[in-house]
Amino acid sequence: MNEYLPGLAGVAATKSNISTIDGEKGILSYRGYPIEELAKHSTFEETILLLMNGELPKKDHLETFSANLRTNRALKYHLVDLMKTLPGSADSMLMLQTTVSSLGMFYQGSECLIDGDVCTDLDYINTATIKIIARMGTMVASWKHIAKGYEPAPYRYDLNYAESFLYMLTGKEPDPLLARILDVCLILHAEHTINASTFSVMVNGSTLSSPYSVISAAIGCLSGPLHGGANAKVLTMLEQIGKPENAAKFVDEQLKRKGKIWGMGHREYKTKDPRATILQGLIKELLEARGGDVDPLFEVAEALEKACEERLAEKGVYANVDYYSGLLYREMGIPANQFTAIFAIARSAGWLAHWREQLKDNRIFRPTQIYTGKQKRDYVPMDMR
């Protein structure tokens, strides 16, 4: 009899050398590099290459890759026309899933994935990776305008990924500090071992589906409320609390009624999520740079975190990556309904790294089940039922 573990909790589904988590110590590493080091010294573009290839790139390699990302960020007019046909009220994740899946029709060439043979065409793999990651940022930024009936903002090829996204989103020259903060946010969300959406990448990739279909499936998985979107709920919660002095009472009431405190606790971490620590540091940097002239909800957030630590630390419940990220996104002018789409943009790097890894030693996923239904029965004719 096979052992049944709901949600495959603790079941090793693959071998990977892309990232690792030590939940007890609060450690997250990409390819052996601590996330703190990457947030401090790296860029999103460099982190993408690290995740894809396993090593930090040399200068010329990074420059070539960054240039390719920039020249591939434009959308074909057919794709823009497709986005214009979508209802303006459509969720940004549904828009992103639709448009990413449609890329496979505009950019074909997945012949290396047919006939059951593992794809070894690195040119195709690298090209598909660039086309997906480069365009996801453009799609999300453009949707803010298209959903309201306006033309998307023009492209800028002289800006890095984070700067270009903010420019297309707001139509204004990006604030250097906010662009750097967004760049760090993208690094922090780029990869996080075998979570639900990454597992969907592996399952879809194992069938030799095209990378556009693979990433579309992952976006659909991330859109679920149990996976992405908690940072928007954190903002709503902080607005409900209103003032720092209300935080402790709110926590007590939620604990009494067994309510949810959004942004607190993580299935992997028994201490504070290292990404939350980095984001909190970015908030303090922003506070200092602006002389305290930032969203007053920052103070509410810190007060709420302190109240939670006083009551929940012994249970291993601490702030996770969603806790501070929404506050920072709002400071950049990003609408709350696009927060999860930002998550998807960043995580596309990790998804595509796992797609590559799956192709290298591919075997189609075919888990088993424990049958709990009826045993053999005789068919009953219609007139005897």
Helical H segments across 86-175, by residue range? 92-106, 122-146, 161-170
CA distance 187 to 349: 9
Q: Which of 175, 266, 273, 354 is catalytic?
A: 266
CB 8 within 8 A of CB 254: no
Let me know if 266 is a catalytic residue.
Answer: yes
What is the Rg, in whole angstroms, of the alpha carbon atoms belonging to the chain? 22
Exposed (0-12), middle (13-18) or buried (19+): which is 282, by Cβ within 10 Å? buried
Let me know if 145 is a catalytic residue.
Answer: no
Q: Which of 322, 354, 378, 383 is catalytic?
A: 322
CA nearest to 104, candidates 211, 8, 221: 211
Exposed (0-12), middle (13-18) or buried (19+): which is 127, by Cβ within 10 Å? middle
φ, ψ of residue 232 to 5 degrees: the values are -65, -35
Bridge partners, residue 21, by sequence:
28
CB 128 within 8 A of CB 120: no
CA distance 162 to 309: 33
Q: Could you give the C-alpha distances from 88 to 63, 91, 130, 146, in angstroms and in order?
A: 37, 8, 28, 7
**Active-site residue set:** 266, 322
